[in-house]
Amino acid sequence: MKNQIDRLSELPDPILDHILSFIPMKQILQLSILSKRWQNVWTLLPIPEFEQHLFTNNLRKVPPNEKQEEFQRKKQEFKNFVQRYLLGHYRQRLSINKFRLHMMLDDESDCALLNRWIDYAIECNVKELNLDVWIDQKRYELPKKKYELPERVLVAKSITELKLCKCKLKSFYSDINLPSLKKLVLGINVEDQIVPDLIAGCRDIEEMTFECCYGLKSLQVSGLPKLKAIELVENPELESVEIEASNLESLVFKLTRPCQINLGRCENLNKLLLYSCSITDKWLHDVLSKHPLIDCLDLRCCSMLKRIKIASHRMRSLAFISCYELVEIDIVTPNLHRLEYDGYFISFSSNTSSLSEVSIRFTDEDVSDVEKIEFLANLSHPKLLNWETFNIEFSYGNPVDKLKDPSCCKLIPILCWRHCLKAIKIENLRGSIEEDALKKYFSDNAEILESFHYLKGSVLPEV
Amino acid sequence: MSSSKSNKIVKLESSDNKTFEVEEAVAVQSETLKNMVDDGCANDTIPLPNVNGKILEMVLGWCKKHVDETVTGDELNKYEADFLDLDQADLYGLLMAANFLNVKGLLDRVLQRVADMIKGKKPEEIRRIFNIKNDFTPEEEEEIRLENAWAFD
């Protein structure tokens, strides 16, 4: 005779929680039908993300004339789901760690509903708030309406991370005070005048990102002692940026139009990424000399740069990509580990001895393989080279004889590859290589070369 | 490497008055017992009124196995898998004991086992396996299904 006791339902809540943490969300919802005790068990669990399209996307099997109705039904289901989750937590005074919402708002009543949800979340001391919400664009309405962020959010003491997308900030808030905010990511329309208030209200902020923020024309950052990273990406109206942040470590600028960049005292800056910035040689050299701690520099599509000269013991990673006006690069960077270059075959001189990762791609068609290798050879002793469709591994050993001042390595602190290159392994993943020319070049020039391996990888079939 | 602890014996008494004697190294696999030992309360027999003899024997067997250095990783895995092949009464007894005694790893494994018994099954099947009484009226049940239609798709 089987024992008919239902022990599972009698388990205390914390143990049940633990068991449910091993079970996927959808099935947990099904458990709400088991019995009255199970009806609301799912509301206790942390659900970090609510995405409307998970509910409303599967309408394939619905006949076309019923699709609209079915969509509305599913939309309502989604709203109920979010509502019960938030209400459940609110009523039981449970904290919400993370609340992310991705949803299309139909009308004013949806906006009001969202305001109430935000209220619940804030009452539950939400830490990470992520809103990706937009108003359904009815064809006859112009201009596009956007959801306005309620005041409550900008004075919420618990919020540590705020991410907003597609909605908008009002032009005026009576108070902005986010004492716990560490990370701010805005991908929304803003009005210029609100930004200084916003910045002033986030004393302890550490990371700031503005991405595609229409309306953002100028940005002044100062007086943020904990600010470590700033990212300004594709803000279409941004004209001027002024930054002064003594603890700033990382700066990323991706511009879409000319923009004035003034970097004040950012003594701790060590990572600088500039994409599509109309910076001049002088601007770059000024910045590098004022910020000697920079160890990672990434320049892409900076079309005003012509001649780059970098001398830095700290520099560990350099990338020059698609800066098509460059004619010359001269780097004295003894501790450089990583180099990436994509552009024309230009004059490149370097003094580096610890390069371990090199990635090179030349835009010119008529550069011979030997010329390319010579270019690389000037980078002294790279161990691994990833170059378009080849991977080249260099192995080095000790030179055979003590040489008296060879001309090829006069300007670099160590003996160049000609004296130390022992083995080369070329892996050709695609395309063709002038194998014979290269073999001859190396055997002519590398004094202690022992082996030259050429492995053909997967070769594209002949058309 | 063996510990240089004295081979102190810890005495335990289950709810049904069975006594068990184990080495301290085995007993302290349970955080609860470890705290007692550290606080110096483990000199007399420790009564465990919420764990019966059968379950206590199982738990101590688990602890012994995990202190035994001659057991290989594979052997231990097999032992753990076989260990949890229990009927529901014993499984719950073990769950409550592992929770109360706070035995490293054991509670997690038991809970995982229970979760495995639930995963992927339809509500009707779960009710049957766990003897859960459906106290909804058909109308109430239908209402919940509609409310969470997404989950029952």
**What are A265-303's pLDDT values in tens digits?**
899 999 999 999 999 999 999 999 999 999 999 999 999
Asked if pLDDT for residue A203 goes beyond 80, the answer is: yes
Asked if pLDDT for residue A218 goes beyond 60, the answer is: yes
Asked if pLDDT for residue B70 goes beyond 80, the answer is: yes
Distance from C-alpha of A159 to C-alpha of A179, rounded to nearest angstrom: 8
Closest CA to A232 of A259, A265, A267, A201: A259
Residue A446: its pLDDT value, please?
75
A201 within 8 A of A154, measured Cβ to Cβ: yes
Choice between B151 and B133, residue whose per-residue pLDDT is larger:
B133
The listed range with the strongest mean pLDDT (A81-95, A120-134, A326-340, B95-109) is A120-134
**What is the C-alpha radius of gyration for chain A, rounded to an integer number of angstroms?**
30
Closest CA to A359 of A395, A333, A391, A400: A391
Asked if pLDDT for residue A208 goes beyond 90, the answer is: yes
Asked if pLDDT for residue B11 goes beyond 50, the answer is: yes
Choice between A237 and A389, residue whose per-residue pLDDT is larger:
A237
Distance from C-alpha of B19 to C-alpha of B29, rounded to nearest angstrom: 18
Residue A288: its pLDDT value, please?
94
Q: Is the dihedral of CA B119, B124, B128, B131 positive or negative?
A: positive
Distance from C-alpha of B86 to C-alpha of B92, rounded to nearest angstrom: 9
Please name the residue that has the structure tokens 């708002």.
A105
Asked if pLDDT for residue A254 goes beyond 50, the answer is: yes
Taking contacts as CB-CB distances below 8 angstroms, the residues of chain A near B153 are: 58
Closest CA to B59 of B89, B103, B92: B103
The reply to whether A35 touches chain B by the CB within 8 Å rule is yes
Closest CA to A167 of A121, A204, A135: A135
Report the helix count and the strand count for chain A, using DSSP H and E.
10, 23
Asked if pLDDT for residue B46 goes beyond 70, the answer is: yes
A33 closest CB neighbour out of B88, B118, B145: B145
Residue A380: its pLDDT value, please?
59
Helices B88-101 & B31-38 angle (0-180, nearest 10): 30
Closest CA to A118 of A73, A144, A77, A148: A148
Residue A180: its pLDDT value, please?
96
Q: In this complex, do A31 and B112 lie within 8 Å of one another by their Cβ atoms? A: no
pLDDT classification of A326: cutoffs 50, 70, 90: very high
Taking contacts as CB-CB distances below 8 angstroms, the residues of chain B near A30 are: 122-123, 148, 151-152
A29 closest CB neighbour out of B114, B131, B148: B148
Closest CA to A432 of A373, A381, A369: A369
Q: State the burial class of residue A20 (Cβ atoms within 10 Å of its Cβ: 0-12, 13-18, 19+).
A: buried
Sheet strands side by side (includes B19-23): B19-23, B9-13, B46-47
A381 within 8 A of A414, measured Cβ to Cβ: yes
Q: In this complex, do A30 and B122 lie within 8 Å of one another by their Cβ atoms? A: yes
Choice between A223 and A163, residue whose per-residue pLDDT is larger:
A163
B15 within 8 A of B48, measured Cβ to Cβ: yes
Asked if pLDDT for residue A151 goes beyond 60, the answer is: yes
pLDDT classification of A25: cutoffs 50, 70, 90: confident
Distance from C-alpha of A170 to C-alpha of A335, rounded to nearest angstrom: 49
Q: In this complex, do A23 and B153 lie within 8 Å of one another by their Cβ atoms? A: no
* Closest-approach residue (CA) in chain B for A75: B150
**Phi, psi torsion values for A402, nearest 5 degrees:** -75, 120
Residue A237: its pLDDT value, please?
94
A101 within 8 A of A118, measured Cβ to Cβ: no
Residue B38: partners with Cβ closer than 8 Å, 6 or more residues away: none
In this structure, which amino acid lies at residue B113?
A: R
Residue A462: its pLDDT value, please?
36
The reply to whether B41 touches chain A by the CB within 8 Å rule is no
- Tokens representing A348? 């490149």
Asked if pLDDT for residue A52 goes beyond 60, the answer is: yes
- Tokens representing B20? 């068990």
Residue A415: its pLDDT value, please?
62
Q: State the burial class of residue A3 (Cβ atoms within 10 Å of its Cβ: 0-12, 13-18, 19+).
A: exposed
Task: Give me the DSSP letters along A229-284.
Answer: EEEEE--TT--EEEE--TT--EEEEE-SS--EEEE---TT--EEEEES----HHHH
Asked if pLDDT for residue A420 goes beyond 80, the answer is: no
Asked if pLDDT for residue A399 goes beyond 70, the answer is: no
pLDDT classification of A242: cutoffs 50, 70, 90: very high
Q: How far is CA A284 from CA A229, A308, A356, in A?
A: 19, 8, 25
A169 within 8 A of A203, measured Cβ to Cβ: no
Distance between alpha carbon B106 and the CA centroid of its chain, in Å? 6
How many residues belong to chain B? 153
Closest CA to B80 of B116, B109, B56: B109
- Tokens representing A134? 């937009």
Over the stretch A339-355, which tens digit does the pLDDT of each residue have?
Answer: 999 998 888 877 776 77
Closest CA to A130 of A105, A103, A164: A164
Residue A145: its pLDDT value, please?
84
Put simply, the chain B residues between 45 and 104 with a CB less than 8 A from any chain A CB are 88-89, 92, 95, 99
pLDDT classification of A10: cutoffs 50, 70, 90: confident
Regarding an ipTM greater than 0.90, the answer is: no
* Closest-approach residue (CA) in chain B for A4: B131
Distance from C-alpha of B89 to C-alpha of B79, rounded to nearest angstrom: 20
Over the stretch A367-386, which tens digit does the pLDDT of each residue have?
Answer: 777 777 777 766 656 666 66
B115 closest CB neighbour out of A23, A34, A38: A23
The reply to whether A31 touches chain B by the CB within 8 Å rule is yes
The answer to which of A203-212, A322-331, A350-359, B40-49 has the lowest mean pLDDT is: A350-359
In this structure, which amino acid lies at residue A213?
A: C
Residue A112: partners with Cβ closer than 8 Å, 6 or more residues away: none
Chains A, B: CB contacts within 8 A come to 93
Q: What is the pTM of this model?
A: 0.69
Distance from C-alpha of B147 to C-alpha of A76, rounded to nearest angstrom: 9
